[in-house]
Amino acid sequence: MSRLISDRTEHVLTTSAPPSALHLSVALDGAGWHPAAWRTPRARPDELFGARYWADTIAGAERGLLDFVTIEDGLGLQTARYGEPDRRTDQVRGRLDAVLIAARVAPVTRYIGLIPMVITTHTEPFHAAKAIATLDYVSTGRAGVRVRVSASPHEAAHFGRREVPGTRDHADPGVRQFTAALFGEAADYVEVIRRLWDSWEDDAEIRDVATGRFIDRDKLHYIDFAGAYFSVKGPSITPRPPQGQPVVAALGHGATSCGLIAQAADVGFVTPRDAGQARDIVTGIRAAQQAAGRGAEPLHVFGDLVVFLDTGDGAQGAARKDRLDELAGEEYTSDAAIFTGTAGQLAGLLQEWQHAGLSGFRLRPGVIPDDVDAITRGLVPELQRRGVFRTAYEAGTLRGLLGLSRPANRYAAAGRS
């Protein structure tokens, strides 16, 4: 059950420490995160399966100087039921492929990072590594990937390669074991794609017409990964991406999924209800990161919030959500906290949670384009006024925007040792 953070609550910082810059992104899903968003006046339901809709939406996010957008995806139709399909006809159903959306939008944007979702269950890491490396080339260094597991029997039935427990009872030892295996597989999946991205050294391509040498074969490396879930020899067929390692992100709700963040991600998305819970979540992730041997590596923890903001035409966020709930015939709830109110109130909340240890936020717009516009035209200027958000893009790669250095190639380093 989600918690509604009302516009009747003021969030005031009590610390006298100078403000520090925060990172900001939006999560894009169809017409917006509210299931009735497609029925609002400015929605474009007839364009959801076209390139222009996504290009316009992401270009708007870039005008707001956001760090990146994430693009949702799945292996089954959207559903109002947890883990199983429904037969509803009053909500958006159907998606375009998130990686292909990002690849289409990349040439018409310049700075904003593009992080499509990839499902690690039922798919192959070799294909994902190649696709995201290609996206990094197409976007000239702005690619990332959000990895997610799938525990749904109806999604497994599309592939027919594994059995999925029919029960969702997490007290069942079999379900707990299966869930742990899914996240163990996801961790190996990330390790494989990272090794494949490194399987070409940066200078492996010679391209010398005079000598007829295009590549230096000695600088392509077998990764020879053999684990419980994958056996991948390598090398990749795509040269090392411009960023070296595109950004890897994951969403965590509990110890197991937050463990994946700690073990394998550059950016973790979490869903606190208040500053105290945010602090506890960050502390847990940092401890797990240390236990995984990654204590010295940078790891961003972003807080997720669904937002219904007051808009420029005077419409209040809470009233907008109430009208959408009425259209949907039920109250909208979320795994993340839901905020309704002004840009100023949201800015105060973000700073409060930032001081609890979060380095950035991923906002889920209740309605597209209304809440994306409210974020970029209302929230961003307010954060700039407070001195905690950029006034211009300061880097041309996603790793650069996030303050992450370009990592050395593990195989090149091993070859020199």
Q: What is the DSSP string of 233-270?
A: ----SSPPPTTSS-EEEEEESSHHHHHHHHHH-SEEEE
Determine the residue type at 413.
Answer: A
CA angle 194, 200, 204 (to 5 degrees): 160
Q: CB-based burial of residue 107 (10 Å sphere; 0-12 exposed, 13-18 middle, 19+ buried)? A: exposed
Token pair for residue 382? 């307010």
Beta strand 231-232 pairing with 225-226? antiparallel
Task: Return the pLDDT at 127.
Answer: 98
First-to-last alpha carbon distance for the chain, in angstroms, is: 53
Contact criterion met (CB below 8 Å) for 235 and 197: no
CA angle 253, 147, 307 (to 5 degrees): 55
Task: Return the pLDDT at 11.
Answer: 42
Contact criterion met (CB below 8 Å) for 197 and 245: yes
What is the C-alpha to C-alpha distance for residues 291 and 39, in angstroms, rounded to an integer? 47
Residues 349, 354, 356, 361, Cα dihedral to 10°: 90
Token pair for residue 123? 């798919």
Helix axes 255-264, 275-291, angle to 10 degrees: 60
CA 214 from centre of chain? 36
Name the residue ranges covered by the structural domains of the chain.
4-151+244-416
Residue matched to tokens 């918690």: 3
Residue matched to tokens 């209800």: 273
Q: Which CATH code of 3.30.300.30, 1.10.1370.30, 3.20.20.30, 3.40.50.2020 fits the domain covering 4-151+244-416? A: 3.20.20.30
Task: Return the pLDDT at 319.
Answer: 96
Tens-level pLDDT at each residue, the chain (417 residues): 456 775 444 444 434 445 679 999 999 999 999 999 999 999 999 999 999 999 999 999 999 999 999 999 999 998 888 777 888 999 999 999 999 999 999 999 999 999 999 999 999 999 999 999 999 999 999 999 999 999 888 888 889 888 787 666 677 787 889 899 999 999 999 999 999 999 999 999 999 999 999 999 999 999 999 999 999 999 999 999 999 999 999 999 999 999 999 999 999 999 999 999 999 999 999 999 999 999 999 999 999 999 999 987 778 999 999 999 999 999 999 999 999 999 999 999 999 999 999 999 999 999 999 999 999 999 999 999 999 999 999 999 999 999 999 999 999 966 655
Task: Return the pLDDT at 16.
Answer: 40
Residue matched to tokens 């299966």: 178
